């Protein structure tokens, strides 16, 4: 029997699997989360330490699986989405990002500051907001517990417009408990949120030039096409 090229065989297989996985996988994830909630409600006060540890491990696994399912669904949406490039006011974008972030963190725990002389960015508004929320939520989750500050600075150059973001927190802060106890904390570039952010940005011509974690802060840099360069 002749062997087909691996890519030729993989593409139709993925198309056949898509209709099943796009519906069944999220449904199975909902069922798993419902079962976990039932376990957490039943006999909470009578649970042994080992049983409690098992449920905590199941909760972590369910959370990671839910992230993977969401990642696949977002990539599928992106695959069929046509980017609409616009000149986006940076101040308005910054306000929208702050509103989105407040839904993911404790109220009042994030100070935000916008700097630089850049007025506009060239991108698809929907993709850019989603990418920045994915990126920042991932970075905020990995920071030490307590308040933090976010600063964004735009800088225009001849080749591109640079948007540099920085998250800082008080030195000596205690690590986030969930991350401190997790034995398999992935490297930053392996996080699905970062991968998804890169794909969303790339779809509208923006590049994630760097993202780095340092002891008391995290930095990232995005490179945009200059608004003045489009036809």
- Percent of the chain, pLDDT > 70? 78
Q: What is the CA radius of gyration of the chain?
A: 21
Per-residue confidence (pLDDT) for residue 30, from 0 to 100: 82
pLDDT digits (tens, 9 = 90+) for 98-120: 888 887 776 557 788 899 889 99
Most confidently predicted of 23-32, 79-88, 167-176, 182-191: 79-88
Flag whether pLDDT at 84 surpasses 70: yes
Per-residue confidence (pLDDT) for residue 214, from 0 to 100: 84
Per-residue confidence (pLDDT) for residue 193, from 0 to 100: 92
Q: Considering the domain 87-229, what is its CATH architecture?
A: 2-Layer Sandwich (3.30)
Rounded to the nearest integer, the mean pLDDT of the chain is: 80
Sorting pLDDT into bands at 50, 70 and 90, what band is 140? confident
Q: Per-domain residue ranges for the chain?
A: 6-79, 87-229
Choice among 39-43, 52-56, 175-179 with the minimum mean pLDDT? 175-179
pLDDT digits (tens, 9 = 90+) for 165-222: 999 887 755 544 434 334 455 678 788 999 999 999 999 999 999 999 887 889 999 9
């Amino acid at each position: 029997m002749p062997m087909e090229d691996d890519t030729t065989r993989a593409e139709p297989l993925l198309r056949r699997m898509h209709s099943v996985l796009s519906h069944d996988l999220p449904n199975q994830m909902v069922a798993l989360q419902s079962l976990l909630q039932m376990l957490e409600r039943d006999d909470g006060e009578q649970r042994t330490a080992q049983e409690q540890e098992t449920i905590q491990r199941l909760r972590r696994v369910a959370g990671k699986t839910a992230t993977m399912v969401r990642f696949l669904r977002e990539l599928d949406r992106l695959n069929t989405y046509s980017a609409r490039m616009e000149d986006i006011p940076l101040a308005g974008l910054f306000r929208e990002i702050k509103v989105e972030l407040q839904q993911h963190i404790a109220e009042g725990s994030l100070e935000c500051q916008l700097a630089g002389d850049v007025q506009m960015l060239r991108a698809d508004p929907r993709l850019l907001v989603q990418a920045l929320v994915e990126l920042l939520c991932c970075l905020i989750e990995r920071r030490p517990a307590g308040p933090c500050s976010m600063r964004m600075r735009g800088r225009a150059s001849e080749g591109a417009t640079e948007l540099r973001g920085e998250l800082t927190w008080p030195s000596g802060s205690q690590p986030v408990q969930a991350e401190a106890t997790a034995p398999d904390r992935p490297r930053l570039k392996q996080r699905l949120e970062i991968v998804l952010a890169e794909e969303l940005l790339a779809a509208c011509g923006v590049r994630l030039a760097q993202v780095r974690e340092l002891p008391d802060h995290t930095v990232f840099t995005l490179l945009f096409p200059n608004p003045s360069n489009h036809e």
